[in-house]
Every structure is written in C-alpha cells, then in structure tokens.
Amino acid sequence: MKLTEDDLYRTSTQFKHWSFTPSQLAAQRLQTNIQASERVKAAVQRQRAQRAKQLDPASASESDRNGTPVPLDREVNCLTVAEEKKLVDTFCEKAIELGGFFKFPIEVTATGIQFLRRFYLFNSPMTYEPQTISRSAMFVANKTEGHHMPLEKYAAGFPKATSEQVLAPEYLLVQALRFNFDIRHPFRALKGGHLDMIEMARGNAYTFASHILKTAALLTDAYFLYTPSQIWLSAHLLADELLTLFYLSTRLPPSSPLHSKTLTTLRSCAALLSSHHTFTSPTTSAADKAAKDKKEKEEVQLLIKKLRQCRDPDKLDLVKLNQAQKRDAVDGEGLEEKKAKRRKLEREGYQKEADSFWGPELPRRENGAGGK
Amino acid sequence: MVISPVLSPKPNPPGPGARPPTMKSKPLAILNSSNVQPPTAASTPGDTGRDMAEQMNDEVRKQFKTGAKLGEGTYAIVYSGHYKSDPSSLVAIKKIKVNQDYKDGIAMDAIREIKFLSELDHPNIIKLHAVFSTKDQNISLVLEHLPLGDIETLWKTHSISYSPADIKAWANMLAQAVWFCHENYVLHRDIKGNNLLIAADGTVKLADFGLARSFADPGRPMTYNVITRFYRPPELLLGARHYGGGVDVWSMGVVIAELAIREWFLPSNTDFEQLVAIYDVFGTPTEDSWPGVSQFEFYTPPDDSSVPAPANGTGPSHRATSPSQSTQSSIKRPQPLTYWRQRFPLLGEDGIDLIRGMLTLDPRKRLSAREVLEHRYWTNAPRPTKKEDLPRQGSGEEKMGEDLKRRGGEVESGRVDKVARKLDFGAMR
C-alpha cells in the first residue's frame, strides 16, 4: 500500500488552487492591476472632487493631505503589471535577507516568500504596501512552519515596525491566501532525489559495474583492447547508461570531437563486455539466462571432447618432458645447450616424419620448441 | 522520498469550481476571452472598498447558514450549520475564539489545523469543507457534520454492546486514517478516543489536527510535550526530541486496547506514573530491549544494587526516583501472553499480536502505520462489521460540539488529570 507522489500532490491546495499556466498567471496579474488602477484613480478623483468643493478654485495645484503633490488636472500614473511584478520580486529578495537576519530556517523564509507572491496575485502593491505585507507574511510563515518566534521579539527586529503593524495585515493576508497555509517546497525532494542518485550510483550501478569488472572484463580481450578507464566506464555504461552519459558529458563537452570518439570506444568495449556469456543485463529474464548458460555449457563440452582428439601426444606428459629436458642437458655436456636441444628435437622430428599422420606438423613444432 | 511529480498536468482552470465568473466591469470584459476563471464579483467602479480576496471570502461565507450553538470552549465555539443551497447537507462550524492570553495574532493551533486538514482528503479524516473569516476577524472552519459521538463515549456507554468484529471495523478505520496522515508526512500527535468522531453512516473520522506537524527533517528537534498523557508513548515521556510516526501508532494501540477492555488501558495522574503504568505492562526497558534508551533526557536507570546510584542533582529533581524504583523488583518483566489473553479476549490472538506490535517500547521495533494495515488481523476471521451494521449511540451532536471545541491536547473539564502538557512554544519546533 503506497501512494505515489502524484497522488499526494494532486490533493494539495498548491496544485488545486495555486498552479497556473503562464497565460493564466499573466491574465490574473493583469486583472489585479486593472482593478487596483481603477480603484486608485477613483479614490484620487473623489479626493480631488472633495477638495475642489472645499477649496478656493483659485489655488489650482494643491498638495494632498500627505504632502504629496497631485496636480489636479493630471491623470494618476499607475504602475504597470511589469512594474508591480518587479516591486514584488524586489520585496521577495528582501525577504530572503530578512530571513537571514532572523536566522529563520530556509522553509520559513521560503514559505513567507510564497505567501507574498500568492498575496500579490490578488492584490496590487498600489493597494497594499509590500514592506508591510512582507513583515506580516514572514511572521505567519513562522507560525505555519511551526517555528514560533514571539511577536514582540520579531517586531523588535525592525527599527520602525511595531507589533500592531506586524499583526494588522494578518487577516487580510490569510484571506488572500484563501487559508491555504501548506506550501510544497522542493527542498526535501532534492534531498530525496539526491539520495536516490547516490543510491543508483553506489547501490545498483556500482554493484553491477563492479560485477562486470570482476567477470566479463577479465574474461574477454578487454584488457588487450582498452585502457582501464575505458573498461570501467564501459561497465558503468552497461550498468546505468543515462548516469554514465551524463558523467561523461561533465568531463568532455558533447561538442568536442573527443566526446563522440570516446563514446564510440566505450560502446565497442561495452559490446565486447556484454557479449560475454556471464553478462546479464537487468532486463535479462531468468529463462534467457538459463538458456544462455546451457548453450555455453554444451559448446564447451563439445570443445573439450574435440580437444581430446587433437592433443599433441608429445606434450601429454609434461613431467616426463621436463625430466627428458634435464637429462639432455646433462648428456650434452660440453655442447651448447641450445644446440643439444635442437638436435634432440630434430632427431625426434625425423622419427615423427616417418609417421605419416604427424608429418605436416613438423616445421611449426620445431620452431616453437626451439624457442623455448 | 518526495519528488514532486514533474509530469503532473497543470490544473485548468485553477481554483475550485465554486467560482462562477460574473463579469461586471467593462475593463474586465477583455479577460472573458482568456482561459482564466477570475474570482467572482470583480469590483465594479462603485465597489471600491472591497478587495478580491475579501470578496472571495464573502462568497465562501455566504454559502453557509450558521445554526444552533453546540458547544463552547476556551478555544472555539461550535455551531451546527448547513449549506444554504441544500439545507439537508449539514456541517459543523467551528469558530476559533480570539485567545486573550495569546498576543501573537492568529493562533498556531488554528493555523495547524487548517493547514493540515486542507491537504488531507480521506474518508476517515474529518473533512474541512471551507474556511472563512468574519468581519470581527474570527476564523471559522466549516467541518464535516459527525453526529454519532466518538469512540471514547462508545466504550463508556455500557448500554451499547459490541462484538470483536465491531472493534475490528472501528480499529481499521482508525488505522487507515493514521496511515494516510503518515503517507502525507503528517504526524497527528493527539490520537485518542474522543478525537475519533463518528459520522451519520457509522464511519470513524480522525479529527483535531491542532497539534499536528509535518515529519521533521532528520536531526531537527521537536517538542516532546504532545499527545494526551494516557496515549503518550514512552519515548516522549522520556524526553525524545526526534521521533516519527511511531508516536501515533502507540496512541492508536492504546485506543484499540481501550475499545477492547472498555476502560482506560494505561491511566495515570502524572507523567511519572504514566511511565510506571507502561512499565507494569511492557516491562522496564533496558539497553538490551531498547538500545539507546539510557540516553534519553528523563531516563533513570532501574534500582539495581549492582549498579552504583547516579550522583544526586544530575537529573531533574522531580525525576529523582525512576519508575522502576517504586516497586521492590529492580527490573519489571513484561506481562506474559496469558495476561493479554485474559485481558483482551475480544481481540483474539491476531488482535493481541497486532496491538503488542503497535505497543512495542522501542519505537524502532514498533509497527509502522503501513505494517499495521498489512497485519493478518484485518484479513483473518472474523470479518470487520460493515459500517451500516455497527452499533450506534444516540444523539451525539452535542458530543461533536464538545469534541470540536477543544484545542489540541485539551480535555473537557472534570478530567483535568488527563490534560496534555501545554505546548511549550519556546521549545516548539
């Protein structure tokens, strides 16, 4: 009984409420921007109208209550979607610094930033000032991630903010978050995936490649034909092709002519290793393996049988041969050892020549024996 | 481990179905052609004071009609209620009270409960239909209506008789709920009979996620001040700061045991007594039976004359004597199988084997929630009773009100002996 990652993710609020296509995301931001701009313009309009009623029409260009000069006749210059996004992005960056300042665990900071980004999908920085919201978002993120920091201590970390200012936008924030507090971060997934990869390399690929090195690599001409590096990489290629190709590409850029050359060599070495009967890929079935082993055994049995019929009778008893050689060496005292040996062999050769069966073998045997 | 499904298709359109597009303002009409489903009631030029988020919240709130008050606690007030569109679809509305003692804004219990219940969708876990806030800035949780009381009242009500097959059915629903939480990397940390509510159709539902948390990263310390005492596993009583799903499995074992004997299985008045009660049944843990047990903060070695007594003042003063010192024998032996057979005839051999697996002192040897579900108890005879045939208790709506109004670890008044320790927020992780 095991739920897949897919099963788990599909029931998450992150998937259900906070996953978008790029065009959906752009459209949502545009909608938020349009609404906020309208509201700002309407509010300014109202204020101006109110002021116009109260004030002498002569004083045309007047400051508003906050001291910001707003020319009466000019349309308010609202932020564009891109400008809003840039502002939000900036405050997200500042939130990382904030998290660093308070030494929050990364998931607290990360959750706070996602809260901020979610909040500004439905609200504009023109309506709610990002600095105020980000303070509150980070505080709620602390509570959400079970990393509680007392409000007083948190607020004291800011030169200008009070506890009340941190708490004030809390309801606004959680409402905009639609009470979805759970953020699925990729941190744990990275650790898991990384462990999986180590496991792949160490557990399966390493064990498998190491097995090839202890069998097929020793039992074929691999050592004659390839370097140690080529052999292990080929064995690893057979164990885990993707991982090995990736590894290779980190060492040799795929654009380099050496890359394809090396790979060709590795593939031919891998072909050699995998041609050996001891080689079984993870996909080989037990039946295939048994059939392969049986075929191999039969072939070898036939060969041994054949060998018995074509053995060199002279070399059947190496003990005797060795003794004979020693004897010859004693007999041929005064003669050069090599000469004596050759003579003996030549003598034997003539005898064999008489034997029509062995005749054709003579010259080769003479050379070979003479060299020893 | 967790790897997000990179192959998951993007939801289209986003958001729940309950967001009919009602386009009012002219500038927004251009969005009609896009595939985005905008929030309802997009602001009209006259509608300047209301945010989109606020409007979405109002939309949610307007879906429900709040009815009679079912219960009130220090943490929450519970009302009955229903969907306005369908008065027969009942809900329980839990309004979180603003806690006067808690000055730090929205309570963590409420955040936790909302956070986890929003993510967990399972037939044996109480369903969170919606969350909304009211103008007075109270958060309300719209929860599944579970009118048939809870597991604790079930075994306490002696007019109700039930069979081994009934216990198996209830226990299995609990086991599935816990398994599902753990598959989702959520620790409940307050499993007990009165957090297991019963739906109108007899289904058992795990409720109260006020103490829940996600599995910690290895090495990150957690608080041991969780789980109502009778259900608290030995590692938490000994002060473990690193633990896993085993804590819930222990609680689950105690709940099943209580169902089977129809009384408290491991009652006590203090944390210290709780350890004594556990050791009386399961024996005193030793380094042999539980490697590493002596490393726990509150561990005190059994009074063995061959071992020199520890220097005074090294341990916490209230832990001056070890639970095993209160009896004559130095190391208690675990109860033999005959004890289990005599005390738990309703569970049978398989059931006894299962709860002993769940109630293993060493959490590493304890069954995992998945292993619990794989146990032969569920598949061997007798078959668990079908939900519709399970014995029921009468009007339990008030009970639901009582159960839902509590905060994590809290019990109703008059049973203060069992109150879980207050969460220590300083140590809280």
Q: Is A227 left (phi over 0), alpha (psi -120 to 50) or beta?
A: beta
Burial B205-239 (b: 16+ CB within 10 A, else e): bbbbbbbbbbbbeeeeebbbbbbbbbbbbbbbbbb
Contact B35 A20 (CB under 8 A): no
**Lowest-pLDDT range of A202-216, A252-266, B53-67:** A202-216
Strands, E assignment, B84-220: 86-96, 128-133, 139-144, 186-187, 196-198, 204-206, 213-214
Q: How far apart are the first and last CA of chain B?
A: 22
Task: Please check whether residue B201 is in contact with residue A23, taking contact to mean a CB–CB distance below 8 angstroms.
Answer: no
Residue to substitute from A31, A107, A187, interface B, most B β-carbons within 10 A: A31
Q: In this predicted structure, what is the pLDDT of residue A287?
A: 85
What distance in Å separates the CA atoms of residue B367 and residue B250, rounded to the nearest whole number? Answer: 9
Q: What is the mean pLDDT of the segment spanning B42-47? A: 42
B216 phi/psi in degrees, rounded to 5: -75, 155
Contact A170 B106 (CB under 8 A): yes
Extract the tokens encoding A254.
Answer: 């795929």
Q: Which of A30, A167, A191 minimises the CB distance to B1? A: A191
Contact A39 B16 (CB under 8 A): no
Instruction: Enumerate residues 6+ apart whose C-beta is below 8 A from A70.
Output: A44, A48, A63, A64, A76
Whether residue B81 has pLDDT greater than 50: yes
Q: Which residue has the higher pLDDT, B100 or B328?
A: B100
B47 is catalytic: no
Instruction: Write out the CATH class of domain B151-389.
Output: mainly alpha
Dihedral angle, C-alpha B184, B187, B190, B195, nearest 10 °: 0
Q: Is A174 left (phi over 0), alpha (psi -120 to 50) or beta?
A: alpha
- In chain B, CATH 3.30.200.20 sits at 30-145+398-421
Q: In this predicted structure, what is the pLDDT of residue B3?
A: 41
Q: In this predicted structure, what is the pLDDT of residue A189?
A: 79
Per-residue pLDDT band for A83 (boundaries 50, 70, 90) equals very high
Q: In this predicted structure, what is the pLDDT of residue B304?
A: 52
**Lowest-pLDDT range of A278-292, B63-77, B237-251:** A278-292
Q: In this predicted structure, what is the pLDDT of residue B323?
A: 53
Question: Is the bond preceding A228 in cis, omega lying within 30 degrees of 0?
Answer: no
A312-352 pLDDT tens trace = 777 778 888 788 877 777 665 555 666 667 777 777 766 66
How many Cα atoms sit within 13 Å of B4 on the Cβ side? 18
What distance in Å separates the CA atoms of residue A33 and residue A81, rounded to the nearest whole number? Answer: 6
Per-residue pLDDT band for A236 (boundaries 50, 70, 90) equals very high
Supply the mean pLDDT for chain B.
Answer: 80
Query: Is some CB atom of chain B closer than 8 A to the CB atom of A53?
Result: no
DSSP H helices, B230-326, are 234-237, 246-261, 271-282
Instruction: Tell me if residue A256 falls in helix, strand or coil.
Output: coil
Whether residue B166 has pLDDT greater than 50: yes
Chain B: nearest CA to A27, how far in angstroms?
7
Proportion of chain B above pLDDT 70, given as a percent: 76
Proportion of chain B above pLDDT 90, given as a percent: 55
- In chain B, CATH 1.10.510.10 sits at 151-389
Q: In this predicted structure, what is the pLDDT of residue A350?
A: 66
- Tokens 């299962």 appear where? B354
Query: Is some CB atom of chain B closer than 8 A to the CB atom of A81?
Result: no
Q: Which residue has the higher pLDDT, B324 or B213?
A: B213
Chain B: nearest CA to A167, how far in angstroms?
6
Q: How far is CA A101 from CA A157, B61, B208, in A?
A: 9, 39, 35
Chain B: nearest CA to A253, how far in angstroms?
27
Q: Would you say B76 is a known binding-site residue?
A: yes
Proportion of chain A above pLDDT 90, given as a percent: 37
B271-315 pLDDT tens trace = 999 999 999 999 999 999 999 999 999 988 876 544 433 444 343
Contact A192 B1 (CB under 8 A): yes
Whether residue B394 has pLDDT greater than 70: no
Residue to substitute from A32, A121, A143, interface B, most B β-carbons within 10 A: A143
Chain A: nearest CA to B38, how far in angstroms?
7
B240-282 pLDDT tens trace = 999 999 999 999 999 999 999 999 999 999 999 999 999 999 9
Per-residue pLDDT band for A60 (boundaries 50, 70, 90) equals very low
Q: In this predicted structure, what is the pLDDT of residue A277?
A: 85
Per-residue pLDDT band for A195 (boundaries 50, 70, 90) equals confident
What distance in Å separates the CA atoms of residue B7 and residue A313, rounded to the nearest whole number? Answer: 71
Q: Which of B5, B104, B214 minimises the CB distance to A6? A: B5
DSSP H helices, B283-422, are 337-343, 348-358, 369-373, 397-405
Catalytic residue among B150, B166, B190, B208: B190
Q: Would you say B235 is a known binding-site residue?
A: no
Per-residue pLDDT band for A54 (boundaries 50, 70, 90) equals confident
* Count of Cβ atoms closer than 10 Å to residue B67 Cβ: 15
Per-residue pLDDT band for A43 (boundaries 50, 70, 90) equals confident
B241 phi/psi in degrees, rounded to 5: -105, -5
Question: Is the bond preceding B316 in cis, omega lying within 30 degrees of 0?
Answer: no
B103-113 pLDDT tens trace = 888 888 899 99
Contact A140 B111 (CB under 8 A): yes
Q: In this predicted structure, what is the pLDDT of residue B76?
A: 87
With contacts defined as CB-CB under 8 Å, which chain B residues touch A124? none
* Count of Cβ atoms closer than 10 Å to residue B202 Cβ: 19
Q: What is the mean pLDDT of the segment spanning A235-247? A: 90
What distance in Å separates the CA atoms of residue A51 and residue A59, rounded to the nearest whole number? Answer: 11
Q: At B76, which helix (H) or strand (E)?
A: strand B76-83
Model confidence, pTM: 0.72
Whether residue A301 has pLDDT greater than 80: yes
Whether residue A26 has pLDDT greater than 60: yes
Task: Please check whether residue B420 is in contact with residue B225, taking contact to mean a CB–CB distance below 8 angstroms.
Answer: yes
Query: Is some CB atom of chain B closer than 8 A to the CB atom of A2?
Result: yes
Residue to substitute from A20, A153, A179, A190, interface B, most B β-carbons within 10 A: A179
Q: In this predicted structure, what is the pLDDT of residue A291?
A: 86
For residue B213, the chain A residue with the least C-alpha distance is A146
Q: Which of A8, A143, A176 minimises the CB distance to B53? A: A176
Contact A2 B121 (CB under 8 A): no
Q: Would you say B238 is a known binding-site residue?
A: no
Q: In this predicted structure, what is the pLDDT of residue A288?
A: 85
Instruction: Enumerate residues 6+ apart whose C-beta is below 8 A from B199.
Output: B144, B145, B146, B147, B148, B205
What distance in Å separates the CA atoms of residue B207 and residue B269, rounded to the nearest whole number? Answer: 25
Whether residue B170 has pLDDT greater than 90: yes
Contact B14 A18 (CB under 8 A): yes
Q: Which residue has the higher pLDDT, A243 or B5?
A: A243
Contact B8 A15 (CB under 8 A): yes
Instruction: Enumerate residues 6+ apart whose C-beta is below 8 A from A238.
Output: A208, A209, A212, A270, A273, A274, A279, A281
Extract the tokens encoding A108.
Answer: 């607290």
Contact B16 A21 (CB under 8 A): no
Q: Is A251 buried (19+), middle (13-18) or exposed (0-12) by CB count in 10 A?
A: exposed
Beta bridge partners of B83: B64, B86
Chain B: nearest CA to A162, how far in angstroms?
12
B233 phi/psi in degrees, rounded to 5: -75, 160
Task: Please check whether residue A173 is in contact with residue A133, taking contact to mean a CB–CB distance below 8 angstroms.
Answer: yes
Contact A17 B42 (CB under 8 A): no
Q: Would you say B78 is a known binding-site residue?
A: yes
A301 phi/psi in degrees, rounded to 5: -60, -45
Q: Which residue has the higher pLDDT, B260 or B48?
A: B260
Per-residue pLDDT band for A137 (boundaries 50, 70, 90) equals very high
Q: In this predicted structure, what is the pLDDT of residue A47?
A: 84
Task: Please check whether residue A258 is in contact with residue A252, taking contact to mean a CB–CB distance below 8 angstroms.
Answer: yes
Chain A residues 160-179 with a CB less than 8 Å from chain B: 163, 166-167, 170-172, 174-176, 178-179
* Count of Cβ atoms closer than 10 Å to residue B360 Cβ: 21
Task: Please check whether residue B246 is in contact with residue B366, taking contact to mean a CB–CB distance below 8 angstroms.
Answer: yes
Q: In this predicted structure, what is the pLDDT of residue B151?
A: 94
Whether residue B120 has pLDDT greater than 90: yes
Chain A residues 108-127 with a CB less than 8 Å from chain B: 122-123, 127
Residue among B410, B404, B413 at smallest CA distance from B92: B404
**Lowest-pLDDT range of B1-5, B177-181, B193-197:** B1-5
Whether residue B379 has pLDDT greater than 70: yes
Per-residue pLDDT band for B44 (boundaries 50, 70, 90) equals very low
Contact A6 B2 (CB under 8 A): no
Q: Which of A21, A43, A184 minimises the CB distance to B12? A: A21
Instruction: Tell me if residue B139 falls in helix, strand or coil.
Output: strand
Whether residue A233 has pLDDT greater than 90: yes
Chain B: nearest CA to A164, how far in angstroms?
9
Q: In this predicted structure, what is the pLDDT of residue B326?
A: 47
Instruction: Enumerate residues 6+ apart whose C-beta is below 8 A from A332.
Output: A339, A340, A341, A343
Burial A107-117 (b: 16+ CB within 10 A, else e): bbbbbbbbbbb
Q: In this predicted structure, what is the pLDDT of residue A333?
A: 57
Q: In this predicted structure, what is the pLDDT of residue B36?
A: 38
Q: Give the CATH H-level superfamily of domain B30-145+398-421.
A: Phosphorylase Kinase; domain 1 (3.30.200.20)
* Count of Cβ atoms closer than 10 Å to residue A37 Cβ: 21
Contact B35 A21 (CB under 8 A): yes
Extract the tokens encoding B277.
Answer: 């009660």
Report the DSSP pairing between strands B213-214 and B139-144: unpaired
Per-residue pLDDT band for B234 (boundaries 50, 70, 90) equals very high
Per-residue pLDDT band for B429 (boundaries 50, 70, 90) equals very low
Dihedral angle, C-alpha A237, A243, A248, A249, nearest 10 °: 140
Q: In this predicted structure, what is the pLDDT of residue B216?
A: 75
Q: In this predicted structure, what is the pLDDT of residue B62?
A: 93
Per-residue pLDDT band for A238 (boundaries 50, 70, 90) equals very high
Whether residue B176 has pLDDT greater than 70: yes
Q: In this predicted structure, what is the pLDDT of residue B1?
A: 40
Q: Would you say B426 is a known binding-site residue?
A: no
Q: In this predicted structure, what is the pLDDT of residue B18?
A: 39
- Tokens 């140590």 appear where? B427
Q: Would you say B410 is a known binding-site residue?
A: no
What distance in Å separates the CA atoms of residue A66 and residue A314, rounded to the nearest whole number? Answer: 117
Report the DSSP pairing between strands B64-72 and B76-83: antiparallel
Whether residue B4 has pLDDT greater than 90: no
- Tokens 């079970």 appear where? A146
The one-letter amino acid at A217? A
Q: How far is CA B70 from CA A189, A265, B95, in A?
A: 43, 78, 11
With contacts defined as CB-CB under 8 Å, which chain A residues touch B7? 6
Whether residue B373 has pLDDT greater than 90: yes
Radius of gyration of chain A (CA): 42
What distance in Å separates the CA atoms of residue A196 and residue A243, rounded to the nearest whole number? Answer: 12
Chain A: nearest CA to B368, how far in angstroms?
12
Using the Cα atoms of residue B98, residue B101, residue B106 and residue B107 in order, give the sign of their dihedral.
Answer: negative
Report the DSSP pairing between strands B196-198 and B139-144: unpaired
